[in-house]
Amino acid sequence: MENLLEESDMPPLTLEMHKKLRAFEHGLRLALGECSGSHSLHDPEAAFEYARTYAVKFYDCFFDFYSQIPDPSYKPHWSPASERFSLQRVVRCLQNDYNVEQFFKNNPDRTTRIKKTIAEHAKKANVDFSILTGKQSASYARAGIDVASASPLLKMALTPQMSPPSAYKPLLPLVITPPKPKRLSAHITNSTAARKMQEFMDSHCLNQTEFAIQANTSDKTIRKFRRTGQIKRSIVPDIAKAMGITKEELLRQ
């Protein structure tokens, strides 16, 4: 009989992790609730896609946390544990709504497809970073970082460095250099965007803390944006992503 990993077999989650996972669960339950009426599931396709989307969110959350654990004995379990626990979280949310639960129970292949989505995402996320050589490899080794099993954030940062050099080399150097682009201000002020965010929070029953967690920022930042309409330009994409829209849609007057 297969020994299945439980969360108790892995290092305990931090309070911050618990809050983030609970915020994701709350978001998925709200999304599924919008697809379901009092007597039937009126938008099954959307419910299925919401489940797949949040399954990937859960996986990234677990894997990013476990990959920071220094104990090497946990290393073989980072990905399988993250896959299993993310599916468990999704299933728990599906059981919160009778119509949604029956939709997945009536066809178990739907849950299998969500599991497959997680596995395929995990395969793409776990890129082999062993091709780092020379000064790059040595510098990370001296810092005690195993790049081949690094966290997703570190892998994303390293990806541009690992791109193979172009085979094409110009015969002559370019003489004309383009003008430097005008430097954009670090902050923007957009009261319309702040109002859109507030309307999203109200319609999804999210308080300031819950939305800040989803947008990977702080309560203070969200509070200031709501009050003044001013926000750092770098934070806008995360707020838009948390709302399920593009940055351009959020900033559109």
Pair (24, 117) in one structural domain: yes
Give the H/E segment covering residue 231.
strand 230-232
The CB density around residue 18, as the number of other CB atoms within 10 Å, is: 11
Pair (24, 121) in one structural domain: yes
pTM, two decimals, is 0.52
| Tens-place pLDDT, residues 5-52 | 788 889 999 999 999 999 999 999 999 999 988 889 999 999 999 999
Pair (139, 39) in one structural domain: no
Query: Residue 46 falls within a domain, yes or no?
Result: yes
Query: Residue 173 falls within a domain, yes or no?
Result: no
| Contact predicate 222/211, CB 8 Å | yes
- Distance, CA of 175 to CA of 186 (rounded, Å): 32
Buried/exposed 185-202: b ≥16 CB within 10 Å, e otherwise: eeeeebeebbebbeebbe
| Tens-place pLDDT, residues 79-125 | 999 999 999 999 999 999 999 999 999 999 999 999 999 999 998 87
DSSP-derived 3-state class of residue 247:
helix
Pair (70, 114) in one structural domain: yes
- Distance, CA of 119 to CA of 192 (rounded, Å): 40
Show the domain range for 79: 7-125
State how far Cα 126 lies from the chain centre: 15
| Tens-place pLDDT, residues 125-156 | 775 444 444 445 455 555 555 544 455 555 55
| Tens-place pLDDT, residues 166-215 | 444 444 554 556 677 767 788 889 999 999 999 999 998 989 899 999 99
